[in-house]
Amino acid sequence: MTEYCEGDLMFSEAELQLAYKVGNVPFSMFPFPHFYINDVFPQGFYSQLQRNIPDPEVMVPIEQARPVKGYKERFVLGFEDEQLATLPDAKRAFWTGFRDWLSSGRFSSLVLGKFDPLIRERFKGQNVRFSEELLLVQDITNYKLGPHTDSPRKVITMLFYLPPDESQRHLGTSIYLPNDPGFTCPGLSHHRREAFSRLHTNPFLPNSMFAFFKTDNSFHGVEPVADPDTRRWLLLYDIYLRPVEQERPPAGTPFAPKLNLF
């Protein structure tokens, strides 16, 4: 087993395996573009990751961290320095290193390249730039998420499933199809399950990932978590449209945003 020690080489093998897996997995196109991957990281790294799962007490309700309401069973830890500073030294070092390579630009470039034909089709020559968000999540018993397509600003979602074993395999993200074949949603609403058929639930297995491209029919959600005393750990990696306001230079400087062209 590879030993993952502190330092710049800590994540190199994990980064390479993730890049290989994501770069080569084919898309499933129905009912929207998505894929599922097993063995995302080397097993030794995943074991290291499991040893560094935070104490649940450092997680904060998502309503305190993000402008959302109605998710009292979801707790999160952001990857900003101030949030990671709440962790013990060893865990802070692990997750800081993880953040630094996952957000270095190499992975986002790979992901945007893989999704490039879909991005070009969605934005049809518009000038767009992107931002990424990384969030560690713990869901507890009674968590649920009705069918929805995600925020209109969302472009790509990657869900790294982080359970310790296979006992939670039934708790993965589900894919839904509207009973009304013509129904779509730009993304600001969650919908009644009764109006949808559940096509598939991705297995919530150790060291796996579910990823998808946001469309007006990318309906997904989580069936109610009924298991007692459940802690459902996952890592969210999202790519969003970057608001133009974020491109503004300091006050007094002429505004001329530089945008990626697709």
Q: What is the DSSP-derived secondary structure letter of residue 261?
A: B
**Tens of pLDDT along 15-28?**
999 999 999 999 99
pLDDT at 106: 95
Residue 28, exposed/middle/buried by CB under 10 A (0-12, 13-18, 19+)? Answer: middle
pLDDT at 11: 75
Prior bond to 203 cis, omega within 30?
no
Q: Does the pLDDT at position 59 exceed 60?
A: yes
Between 12-24 and 106-114, two packed helices, what is the crossing angle to 10 degrees? 10
- Name the pLDDT band for 65 (thresholds 50, 70, 90): confident
**Tens of pLDDT along 213-255?**
999 999 999 999 999 999 999 999 999 999 765 444 444 333 2
pLDDT at 77: 97
Average pLDDT over residues 29-35: 98
Closest to 98 in 3D by CA, of 10, 4, 207 = 10
pTM: 0.89
Longest dimension (CA), the chain: 58
Between 43-51 and 12-24, two packed helices, what is the crossing angle to 10 degrees? 120
Cβ of 55: how many Cβ atoms within 10 Å? Answer: 10
pLDDT at 71: 83
pLDDT at 177: 98
Instruction: Pick the more confident residue, 62 or 7.
Output: 62
- Name the pLDDT band for 10 (thresholds 50, 70, 90): low
- Name the pLDDT band for 70 (thresholds 50, 70, 90): confident
**Tens of pLDDT along 96-147?**
999 999 999 999 999 999 999 999 999 998 989 999 999 999 999 999 999 9
Structure tokens at 119: 């991005």
d(CA 216, CA 224) in angstroms, rounded, equals 23
Q: Does the pLDDT at position 258 exceed 70?
A: no
Per the CB < 8 A criterion, the answer to whether 11 and 97 are in contact is: yes
pLDDT at 220: 98
3-state SS track over 41-94:
CCHHHHHHHHHCCCCHHHCEEHHHHCCCCCCCCEEEEECCHHHHCCCCHHHHHH
**Tens of pLDDT along 166-204?**
999 999 999 999 999 999 999 989 999 999 999 999 999
pLDDT at 83: 95
Closest to 66 in 3D by CA, of 131, 129, 134 = 134
pLDDT at 262: 29
pLDDT at 9: 53
> What are the chain's domains?
12-244 (2.60.120.620)
pLDDT at 2: 42
pLDDT at 213: 98
Q: Give the C-alpha distances (Å, rounded to integers) separating 84 from 14, 87, 121, 238, 242.
A: 21, 6, 38, 19, 24
User: How much of the chain exceeds pLDDT 70, in percent?
Assistant: 89
- Residue whose entry in the numeric block shows the structure tokens 């919530």: 204
Structure tokens at 152: 């209109």
